[in-house]
Amino acid sequence: KAGVTQTPRYLIKTRGQQVTLSCSPISGHRSVSWYQQTPGQGLQFLFEYFSETQRNKGNFPGRFSGRQFSNSRSEMNVSTLELGDSALYLCASSLIPQGATEAFFGQGTRLTVV
C-alpha cells in the first residue's frame, strides 16, 4: 500500500513569505503529526491532528499552523518565514492517535528560507 506522501519535496522561500506543506497519510490512518528536524535541535514536535481536530501542539510560535481535511490529508502553514525556519519538515501517519501505535513517516519537505 502507498506510504506517507509529502509535497513538495523541496522549497526555497524568502524571509517574510508564507508557505504551505502537504501530507497525505497512509490510507485508513486518521492521525497526522508534524515534526521539524534541524541539525541543532533534532526532531521537534509541531502538532498532531486526528479526525480533523488538533489534539496536541508543541512549543512553536503561532506562525506555525495546520489543519486536517475529512480525507485525513493535512496541511501545515508557516507565515512570515524566518531564516531559522529552514529545516526538514516531516509528517507521520498512524492509525490512531500517535504515541499509542506505530508511526510511519514521509520523506519530508526540505524548506530553505533565504
Partner 1 sequence: KQEVTQIPAALSVPEGENLVLNCSFTDSAIYNLQWFRQDPGKGLTSLLLIQSSQREQTSGRLNASLDKSSGRSTLYIAASQPGDSATYLCAVGPDTGRRALTFGSGTRLQVQP
Interface residues with partner 1 (CB under 8 A)?
Answer: 4, 6, 33, 42-43, 45, 48, 55-56, 58, 88, 90, 92, 96-108, 110
80 vs 112 by CB, closer to partner 1: 112
18 vs 27 by CB, closer to partner 1: 27
In the bound complex, what is the minimum distance in angstroms from residue 49's beta carbon to partner 1?
Answer: 12
In the bound complex, what is the minimum distance in angstroms from residue 107's beta carbon to partner 1?
Answer: 4
Handedness of CA 37, 14, 72, 108 (dihedral sign): negative
In the bound complex, what is the minimum distance in angstroms from residue 16's beta carbon to partner 1?
Answer: 26
User: Which residue has cell 489534539?
Assistant: 55
In the bound complex, what is the minimum distance in angstroms from residue 102's beta carbon to partner 1?
Answer: 5
For residue 68, the cross-strand partners are 74
- DSSP classification of residue 25: P
